């Protein structure tokens, strides 16, 4: 039945491509219903097992960092690099990468998993390792209250057979260690940088964040000076200039480093940290494109914490053009009230020459910005038209596009069609 499922899935995938459909998860959708044992059978073929990366923010970037760090150590890594993080997406990935004889030519899988679907994944297969990045309020129409998300992740870490990497700086994440202390490895941030990484409770408090370093933290984000980042790995400091920029991504890298050290023994930590200098951002997550005289950055936003972290990027260099593209499709979350929990002062401070709101919630976003005394120059719900306006101009400029998930996919598709970037397979 496993081999028949592979063949059927490949036929469905081929048919989808021929018809011009973007339904990359359709093979997984079909197989998930006709062969309940498929996922376990496929994952069981990997000699070094499966590592899940989950949490509210940073999953796609951390997954890419971890996968490429492991590839640098000589491992063949199966990974969902497009961010398709439902179980059916993983099944489709297996179908695509398996040979016609059903073999998976990989050593290990590093898979991004949505918090809810990670819980469904472990019902079918127990991962070797899990990385939990953070627990923030996100898509309440899907997940409900934040403590519900924590309960889902508790189920995930309890099912893990090997190691669990936890963010010691997030109290809801560190609490997941209860009952599995022998499996847990921590990553953390120094007291000096604690204020840069508020947890969900900090976002709703005016008190100063008090920080105590976790005594068992294996990797600590020690300091950030410009583009130079220092990590303490097992107490030894290493400095690097990562290719993936943004303070939140530097913290994601600490998680990836911790997981790598627990997957493969005997790694030279200096070489490992230095390899961060060559790993590019995941698509749409700080991805940088040069379009004529415009240096464009695509930045995914999907909840208050993530948006606040992304807005900090505006202070790193001047941005003459800014677009905020907000959709409310299912993958974005239909409830967009969270936009009112973000303070948009950094946009006002950036004082761009051009400020556009776009997407299905273009007008709503413009109203929200007005309450922070920010005047939007162009309100254009049609994303192709908004992008065309954004790209116009002959002067050298930096452009930032903050976009929800489906808006990012549509914008990127347009940029691929224009020849400005490559399609991610």
Residue spans in the chain of domains classed CATH 3.40.1190.10: 2-278
**Angle 274-305-139 (CA atoms, 0-180°, nearest 5)?**
120
Mean pLDDT on 272-299: 88
- CATH architecture observed for domain 285-418: Alpha-Beta Complex (3.90)
User: At 256, is the pLDDT very low, low, confident or very high (cuts 50, 70, 90)?
Assistant: very high
220, containing H or E segment: strand 217-225
Mean pLDDT on 108-120: 91
Mean pLDDT on 297-313: 89
Q: Which of 33-47, 264-278, 400-414 has the lowest mean pLDDT?
A: 33-47
Mean pLDDT on 311-328: 94
Residue 205 burial by CB count (10 A; 0-12/13-18/19+): exposed, middle or buried? exposed
Q: Tell me: pLDDT of 142 over 60.
A: no
Q: Tell me: pLDDT of 352 over 70.
A: yes
User: At 10, is the pLDDT very low, low, confident or very high (cuts 50, 70, 90)?
Assistant: confident
Mean pLDDT on 129-157: 81
**Res 282: pLDDT:** 77
Angle, helix 87-97 to helix 115-124, in steps of 10 degrees: 60
Q: Which of 74-78, 121-125, 328-332 has the lowest mean pLDDT?
A: 328-332
Mean pLDDT of the chain: 88
The number of beta carbons lying within 10 Å of the beta carbon of residue 306 is: 22
CA distances from 415 to 134, 291, 296, 315, 357 (A): 31, 10, 11, 26, 18
**Res 387: pLDDT:** 96
**Res 20: pLDDT:** 60
Q: Tell me: pLDDT of 315 over 60.
A: yes
pLDDT tens digits for range 46-105: 999 999 999 988 899 999 999 999 999 999 999 987 656 677 788 888 888 888 888 889
Residue spans in the chain of domains classed CATH 3.90.190.20: 285-418
Mean pLDDT on 347-367: 96
Q: Which of 12-21, 296-305, 351-360, 391-400 has the lowest mean pLDDT?
A: 12-21
Q: Which of 232-236, 367-371, 393-397 has the lowest mean pLDDT?
A: 393-397
Q: Tell me: pLDDT of 236 over 50.
A: yes
User: At 141, is the pLDDT very low, low, confident or very high (cuts 50, 70, 90)?
Assistant: very low
Q: Cα(first)–Cα(last) distance of the chain, in Å?
A: 27
Alpha-carbon gap, residue 330 to 332, rounded angstroms: 5
**Res 22: pLDDT:** 56
Pick the CATH number of 2-278 from 3.30.565.10, 3.20.20.70, 3.40.1190.10, 3.30.200.20: 3.40.1190.10
């Amino acid at each position: 039945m496993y081999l028949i499922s592979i063949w059927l899935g490949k036929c469905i995938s081929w048919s989808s491509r021929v018809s011009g459909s973007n339904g990359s998860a359709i093979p997984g959708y079909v197989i998930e219903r006709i062969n309940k044992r498929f996922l376990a059978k496929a994952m069981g073929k990997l000699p070094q097992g499966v590592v899940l990366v989950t949490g509210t923010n940073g999953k796609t970037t951390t997954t890419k960092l971890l996968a490429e760090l492991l590839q640098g150590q000589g491992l063949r890594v199966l990974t969902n690099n497009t961010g398709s993080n439902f179980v059916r997406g993983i099944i489709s990935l297996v179908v695509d990468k398996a040979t016609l004889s059903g073999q998976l030519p990989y050593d290990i899988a590093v898979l991004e998993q949505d918090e809810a679907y990670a819980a469904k994944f472990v019902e079918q297969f127990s991962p070797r390792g899990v990385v939990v990045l953070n627990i923030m309020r996100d898509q309440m129409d899907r997940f409900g209250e934040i403590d519900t998300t924590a309960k889902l992740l508790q189920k995930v870490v309890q099912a893990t057979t090997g190691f669990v990497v936890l963010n010691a700086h997030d109290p809801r994440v560190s609490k997941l260690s209860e009952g599995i202390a022998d499996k847990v490895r921590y990553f953390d941030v120094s007291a000096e940088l604690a204020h840069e990484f508020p947890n969900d409770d900090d976002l709703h408090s005016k008190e100063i964040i008090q920080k105590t370093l976790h005594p068992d933290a294996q990797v600590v984000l020690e300091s950030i000076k410009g583009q130079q980042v220092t990590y303490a790995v097992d107490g030894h400091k290493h400095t690097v200039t990562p290719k993936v920029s943004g303070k939140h991504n530097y913290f994601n890298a600490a998680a990836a480093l911790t997981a790598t050290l627990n997957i493969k023994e005997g790694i030279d930590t200096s070489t490992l940290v230095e390899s961060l200098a060559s790993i590019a951002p995941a698509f749409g997550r700080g991805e940088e494109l040069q379009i004529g005289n415009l240096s464009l950055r695509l930045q995914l936003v999907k909840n208050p914490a993530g948006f606040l972290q992304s807005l900090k990027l505006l202070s790193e260099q001047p941005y003459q053009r800014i677009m905020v593209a907000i959709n409310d499709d299912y993958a974005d979350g239909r409830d967009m009230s969270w936009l009112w929990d973000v303070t948009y002062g950094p946009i006002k401070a950036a004082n761009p020459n051009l400020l556009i709101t776009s997407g299905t919630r273009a007008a709503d976003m413009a109203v929200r910005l007005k309450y922070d005394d920010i005047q939007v120059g162009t309100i254009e719900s049609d994303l192709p038209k908004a992008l065309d306006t954004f790209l116009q101009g002959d002067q050298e400029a930096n452009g930032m596009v903050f976009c929800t998930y489906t808006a990012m996919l549509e914008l990127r598709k347009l940029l691929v069609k224009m020849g400005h970037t490559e399609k991610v397979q």
